[in-house]
Structure 1
Amino acid sequence: MGLDKKFEAYLDKLCKRIRNKDVHDTIKLEIGDHLQELKEDAMERGFSEEEAINQALTHMGDEKVLGKQLNRTHKAPMDLQIILPVLAVSLFGLLIMYNLQFHSTIKALHEMNVFSNSLVYYLAGLLSMLVMFRFDYRRLATYSIPIYIGTLLILSLTLLLGVWVDGIPFLNIGFAFINFTEVTPYLLAVSFAGIFHKWDWKDTRKFWIGAGVLALPILLLSTTWAVAATFLSLIVCMTIVSVSKASIKQVLAITLPLSIWPLVRFFVQADTSTLPNAYAGLTLRDANFIGSALQSTPEPVSRVHTDFIFSYTIYTFGWLSAIIVFGLIAYFIWRIIRTGRRMVYSYARLLTIGLAATFSVQFFLSILMNFGLPGLPGVAMPFMSFGGSHILIEMIAVGLLLSIYRRRNTAEQAMAYS
């Protein structure tokens, strides 16, 4: 073995003891420099090169002991301020599904097994979140264009061959129907962050190319009545363009024309019917601060487990529970916005802020709908409403946010992906 190879072998064995692979390059650089300094110091004192290398390794200590110490020091951090609100709201959503399946009078929800199915969705979502936490999100930057093209192809396939329900196409994959339109805004946030994190909006040619890239999925979504998904995607576009340092004029030039048709659809489809109206005259003032204002769940309520789950929370568990849920989701959104604004790596910043915009608008539209203000049907309350597609994509998005937080201080590695 060559003399320099001894250092390399030592560093390789050392890094095998450190589970957090994100710090391997940094540790090799730091420990390697220290070994070289020890070697040079020994040679200055008259030792041969081989003796100096052996002395340096001896001084550094056994790689097993040092590896265990560094492993404890460099454990991958998980942002509890992101994960805890998500887990709390998800558990409460699961509790609501249990109540709907076993204690409501809506037979359709019993037959749908909303609790059993939700339990599967949440477990699959939790597993996906943990996988994404360990996954290096920066690798997605190199696949941004394929993700974008894949999103367009699947969306087009859904529009052409999907099963349409109330103007919204569902993709039939054999064992399940997927509402791909509600997944699309999250995929666009991921792909746009990678495409535009180094985009030169001052270049006229690039401006028009960028405008076309942003417009195409919005135009496809605009052919459906999935107005909520269209609005979410439009806000993602506006956010990404703004954060990627385009001028205000450029942001307006891109987003205003794209917003005309969705706004027309919004005013046509805006639904001011609320859950209380379905309860034969009940209003939000009839709800208790703590506890139930209802003796049973009436049969006519058809979307209590999806669109109106927040209103159902108010009536069944009281205002206090609803305020806590609202506060947890609002804090989660504030946390990821705060995290994104502190990111130095442009791709991390765009991805975090883009996902934050998606969660924010989805939450806002759902609240509007539940309080009887002009809102859009078909907007899921994050982490609560029944459904497999949105639970999985939301949990994956949380996993990405945790992955970004985990690697927020690895500046040297971030530059390698820039």
Structure 2
Amino acid sequence: MGIEKKVELYIERICKRVRNKDVHAQIALEIQDHLLLLKEEGMSRGLSEEEAIDYALTHLGDAEALGDQLNKTHKAPLDVKTILPVLAASLFGLVVMYYLQFHSTISALNEMSVFNKSLVFYIIGLLIMLTLYTFDYRKLLTYSKYVYVGTVLLLLLTVITGDKVDGVPFLNLGIAHVNVTEVAPFLLIISFAGIFHSWKWRSTRSLWFGVGMISIPIALLSTTGALATTFISILVCTAIMHASGAGLKQVITFAAVSTIWPVVHLISHAQTHTMVSPYADLPFKQADLIGSTIQTAPSLMSEVHTDFILAYTIYSFGWLAAIAVSGTIVYFIYRAFTISSSVNNAFGKLLVVGLATTFTAQFTVSILANMGLSALPGVSVPFISFGGSHIIIEMLAAGLLLSIYRRRNTVDLVVAN
């Protein structure tokens, strides 16, 4: 048997014992390095090359035993600290939708079957999240440029041909209307994490080219009227810029310039529209610490199941429930940032930074809107508010976090094909 064949079979026997296939290539490289060192040691003692290889293989030990040991070392358990807050917040969201459908005086919500539909959305989202946990997120790196081009084209089509719903254009696909602006921040994360994971921001040419790429989708979002999403996208892009090596001065300059038009739009819109929650006084004046879920929601809460779900939670479930569910979401965000510090893969690290920033900005805007402290229109509270598209997108994002955490010890060179 040839020397190379001996080594190949030895490594193959080891990898067969390691269930986590994501680390097979990494293990193979490590074993080859060890065998090379041992081979050189054997040859320095006067052994022939073939004898030195036999010496190295014997020194490393039985392949099956070594494989079992590596299998224990490289186990890929489900990250409970990430999935538990997602499940807890989702369960609370279902409880709220149940009371809105069956115990509120808002007939429209009963007709919409918000609980029944939410249950379907959560089940689909949960399946997607668990599927993405097994999916190797590193495969997305190859498609990041295509995702960028697709996102820009979708936004352009939305701006040109979109049908406006509550002032925001939706892309008409014939069979359904899609809120592209709601999906855009997550698509931009995948795009820019892949494009900028090895970007040379110190180069003047690369700096201007990178800023130009970011500015195109931001400019398109600014024209849609989706102000909250525009600001969230700007924050996401600045976070990815900074995490990928852009200087603080460059990041601040980009953020300042890119927010000029959205701020002007926000001021002009605020002068002609009441953009604070009409229910903001209810939680402060009427809510108790624990609350009573049997009391019905006031009929004026037209957006209670979406943008103003926190206001309804405080009013009907009490401050304690609102604080508990908010704490759950805050912990999820904290966990996401914690994962970013442990990821070796540059692409994975940028993905986590982008996702964590998106959830942070989204949750902050929703709290301010529900408390009547923001001129920005409200956005959905992560994992709680009614809406199929945002629930599925957020579950998808959580699935990506699980996938990244599972492969946090891999490096950029190990990319599955």
TM-score, normalising length: structure 1: 0.88
Q: Deviations over 1:307-341 (max 9, x none)?
A: 11111111221111111111111111122223324
Counterpart position of 2:62:
61
Q: How many residues align?
A: 410
Could you tell me the TM-score, scaled by structure 2's length? 0.88
Counterpart CA distance in 2 for 1:262 and 1:404 is 33
The question of whether the paired residues in 2 share the 8 Å contact of 1:133 and 1:402 is answered with yes
Amino acid at match of 1:401: L
Give 2:340's aligned residue.
340
CA distance in 2, matches of 1:381, 1:97: 13
- Could you say what secondary structure the match of 1:169 adopts? strand
Give, as a single letter, the amino acid of the residue that structure 1 aligns with 2:217. Answer: P
Task: State whether residues 11 and 28 of structure 1, in contact with CA within 8 Å, keep that contact through their aligned partners in structure 2.
Answer: yes
How far apart are the structure 1 equivalents of 2:412 and 2:198?
Answer: 14
Question: Match for residue 319 of structure 1?
Answer: 319
Q: Does 1:4 align with 2:10?
A: no
C-alpha spacing 1:30/1:273, structure 2 compared with 1 (3 Å)? closer
Which residue number in structure 1 is paired with residue 275 of structure 2?
271
Quote the Cα distance in structure 2 between the aligned partners of 1:208 and 1:52: 53
Distance 1:41 1:389, change over 3 A: same
Cα displacement string for residues 79-103 of structure 1 (whole angstroms, at most 9, x for unaligned residues): 3222211111011111111221222
* Residue 32 (structure 1) shift: 4.7
- 1:383 positional shift: 0.7
1:129 and 1:276 map into 2 onto residues whose CA distance is 34
Supply the distance in 1 between the matched residues of 2:372 and 2:52 (Cα, whole angstroms): 80
Aligned counterpart, 2:230: 230
Q: Which residue of structure 2 aligns with residue 349 of structure 1?
A: 349
Q: Deviations over 1:39-79 (max 9, x none)?
A: 9869979899489849947984363x654554344211333
Matches within 5 A, 1:275-314: 275-276=279-280, 282-292=282-292, 295-314=295-314
CA distance in 2, matches of 1:200, 1:323: 43
User: Shift of residue 146 of structure 1?
Assistant: 0.9
Mapped to 1, the partners of 2:29 and 2:347 lie a distance apart of: 25
Aligned equivalent of 1:242:
242
- Aligned runs of 1:9-88 on 2, under 5 Å? 9-32=9-32, 37=38, 49=50, 53=54, 56=57, 60-61=61-62, 63=64, 67-88=67-88
SS in 2 for 1:170: strand
Mapped to 1, the partners of 2:75 and 2:173 lie a distance apart of 40
Q: Residue 414 of structure 1 corresponds to which residue in structure 2?
A: 412
Between 233-242 and 153-162, the greater mean CA deviation after superposition: 153-162
* 8 Å contact from structure 1 (residues 17, 71) kept in 2: yes
RMSD between aligned residues: 2.9
1:158 alignment partner in structure 2 = 158
Structure 1: gaps of 5 or more residues: none
Q: Is the 8 A contact 2:369 2:378 kept in 1?
A: no
**Residues 105 and 297 of structure 2 are in contact (CA less than 8 Å); yes or no, is this contact kept in structure 1?**
yes
Q: Secondary structure of the residue that 2:305 maps to in structure 1?
A: coil
Residues 161-180 of structure 1: matches in 2 within 5 Å?
A: 161-180=161-180
**2:95 matched residue in structure 1:** 95
Q: Does the CA contact (< 8 Å) of 2:294 and 2:316 recur in 1?
A: yes
Provide the C-alpha distance between the structure 2 equivalents of 1:103 and 1:35, rounded to a whole number of angstroms: 69
Give 1:76-155 correspondences, 5 Å limit: 76-155=76-155
CA distance in 2, matches of 1:252, 1:216: 18
Is residue 183 of structure 1 aligned with residue 187 of structure 2?
Answer: no
1:164 is paired with a residue whose SS is strand
Aligned AA (2:326)? F
Query: Counterpart amino acid of 1:249?
Result: K
User: Which residue of structure 1 lines up, in the alignment, with residue 383 of structure 2?
Assistant: 383
Unmatched 5+ residue regions in structure 2? none
CA distance in 2, matches of 1:211, 1:40: 52
Mapped to 2, the partners of 1:39 and 1:162 lie a distance apart of 67
8 Å contact from structure 2 (residues 297, 312) kept in 1: no
8 Å CA contact 1:286–1:293 kept in 2: the answer is: no
Give, in angstroms, the shift of residue 195 of structure 1. Answer: 1.5
What SS does the corresponding residue of 1:76 show, helix, strand or coil?
coil
